[in-house]
Structure 1
Amino acid sequence: MFSFDPAREGKLYLFGESDRILAREQLLDDVPRTISGFGDAVTVGEFYQQVYSRTPSHSDDLRSAIFESPDVEILTETGGTRRKAGTIKEDDILRISRQRSFFSTKWGS
């Protein structure tokens, strides 16, 4: 999903329900791969700045993918972990989990 190019593919991208399901599944792979590209961690705000222009996905789907990924931890400024997708803040830290899932071997280290 992060390979979307609005200059090449047009600015309007409408999902059918089956397309949206596939896009959500792809986001579960794209999110941890993109976070790992920043190194160990990145703020949610920096992550959003990097990916919003690269995906036609709805912000709710992106937030859900961050929260649902078994390979991503969402840390508050006090070091706690976010427990609900709706509470994610731009100054929270996204970090690759110390215990990675089996599927994370697809995208690297």
Structure 2
Amino acid sequence: MTNRIALLNDAFRRTFSGGKVMMTSGVNELPDCVKAEALIQVANFAEFTENNDPYDEHDFGSFDLVGRRFFWKIDYYDKRCEFGSDDPADPEKTMRVLTLMLAQEY
């Protein structure tokens, strides 16, 4: 099941299709060109290791950009985004939400 979750997370992260993308207030205050580049960094992220991806779900990453450290995280909710998903491996039951944040906001 974890492999399926990682595949679904990768597809969402690369296309931003099939879920929601959120930015924290710190990211939202940055210039548009920085936000755009940060989203490109998220979409292209491939540096998954045992340290940042211990469950092999490809649901977290970090990178440096314009002198700042960014984190991104994918969470799994039910389709109405009221509760956690009962089955993150089932896209019919799950809304993926990717949050892009500055490390200092974590």
Q: Which has the higher strand share?
A: 2
TM over 0.5: no
